[in-house]
Amino acid sequence: MSGFKEIQPSKSIAVRRLLNQQFLLRQIGEYAIRAQTNLVVHNQDLFDSPPTEQFEVTDTLKINLQRSNERQLKAAFEPFVEGLSSPDMMKRNEAATAITALAPPFLEGVLIEMTKTNYASAAIVALREADTQKTREALASIASGGGDSALRIEAISNLGRTGDRTYLYTLTRLLASEDKAIQNAAAEAAGVLGGPAAFAQIAALVPSSDASTRAAGAEGLGHTRTRQAVPILIQMLLDSDPNVRQAAVNSLSLLTHRVAYYGDEWSDVTNESSANDVHQRWARWWNSHGDASKIYGLTDCARPDSLE
């Protein structure tokens, strides 16, 4: 349970921070960054040992941001690639953070190998951000493979955000998965990637006798950016399962930026009586405004307006 850093006499400890994680430095030029930390001193390496001293350290660091080329970047990343195999956990973590945070395309092979390590989750996101043919192929392989379910879901979600419709078939094929979490992730990702092109496959989930499958259909339809999805979702407000009804509410909000409010809160659909009222309000609104209403996508962020 020890968690302190021990400093031997006449020695020091350097803790490095990756600026890219905390700052967006978009312009070439000089910057001043203020560094601050609180140091607490203990005389024993024990979790419950009392502190003997505490003080604050501050400094202002000046950096000069310059444009680089790929050769310079490769040279800068060599120590991090080597650090991945370091016996020092701090160095391994630093290396993994640097590589996955910046996701340089020329390290696509390293990123793919990292998906087989403890850094797999961060590496999967980095595969999407590196955005090469090999990294997209790796995402598809993880998504459709038989590995860890949580990593597959991460890969499915990121594959949907690549914008490469070559992989729409991979995602729609996963709609038939018996793993309901995989099925739900695939429905959302297929909607994000395919939009209207994925509508028919996702809508085919709606008539299922399985409530989880119907909920996946509702979630997926909300990401298709298609007007055809709205009347289906309005009808799903009458579903016998409250989770399906709530999924329909969420997707209607995403597609139309509209919500049936009760006061300042979203109207309750957990019981069938209130869900029926919400359905009627939605049906009236759609009959009056459906033809002219704008349809939105996942990146169109805004607070939803009231139906009335």
* AA letter at 114: M
Ordered DSSP codes for 143-184:
HHSSS-HHHHHHHHHHHHTS--GGGHHHHHHGGG-SSHHHHH
CA distances from 173 to 145, 185, 192 (A): 12, 12, 15
pLDDT band with cut points at 50, 70 and 90 for residue 273: very high
- Residue 43, pLDDT > 90, answer no
CA-CA-CA-CA torsion sign (123, 127, 130, 134): positive
What is the distance between the alpha carbons of residues 244 and 269, in angstroms, rounded to a whole number?
A: 10
- 58-104 pLDDT, tens per residue? 999 999 999 989 999 999 999 999 999 999 998 999 999 999 999 99
What is the distance between the alpha carbons of residues 200 and 192, in angstroms, rounded to a whole number?
A: 14
- 24-38 pLDDT, tens per residue? 788 899 999 998 988
CA distances from 262 to 111, 255, 266, 281 (A): 48, 20, 6, 11
Percentage of the residues of the chain whose pLDDT score is greater than 70? 99
> Looking at residues 201-229, what average pLDDT do you find?
98
pLDDT for the residue 90: 86
Strands 265-266 and 261-262: antiparallel
What is the distance between the alpha carbons of residues 50 and 100, in angstroms, rounded to a whole number?
A: 37
Ordered DSSP codes for 234-302:
HHHTT-SSHHHHHHHHHHHHHHHSEE-EETTEEPP-SSHHHHHHHHHHHHHHHHHHTTT-----TT---
pLDDT for the residue 1: 42
Give the burial class of 268: count Cβ atoms within 10 A of its Cβ; 0-12 exposed, 13-18 middle, 19 or more buried.
Answer: middle
Q: For the chain, list the domains and their CATH numbers.
A: 19-65 (no CATH), 69-162 (1.25.10.10), 166-308 (1.25.10.10)
pLDDT for the residue 103: 94
Backbone torsions φ then ψ of 53, nearest 5 degrees: -160, 155
Let me know: does 194 contact 162? Beta carbons within 8 Å. no
Q: How many CB atoms lie within 10 A of CB 244?
A: 24
What is the distance between the alpha carbons of residues 160 and 46, in angstroms, rounded to a whole number?
A: 46
Q: Name the strand (E) or helix (H) holding 212.
A: helix 211-221
β-strand partners of 35: 59
pLDDT for the residue 28: 94
Q: What is the pTM of this model?
A: 0.86
DSSP 8-state symbol, 50: P
- Candidate from 4-8, 59-63, 274-278 with smallest mean pLDDT: 4-8
CB environment 169-183: b (16+ within 10 A), e (fewer): ebbbebbebeeeebb
Give the chain's radius of gyration (CA, Å): 25
Average pLDDT over the chain, rounded to an integer:
93
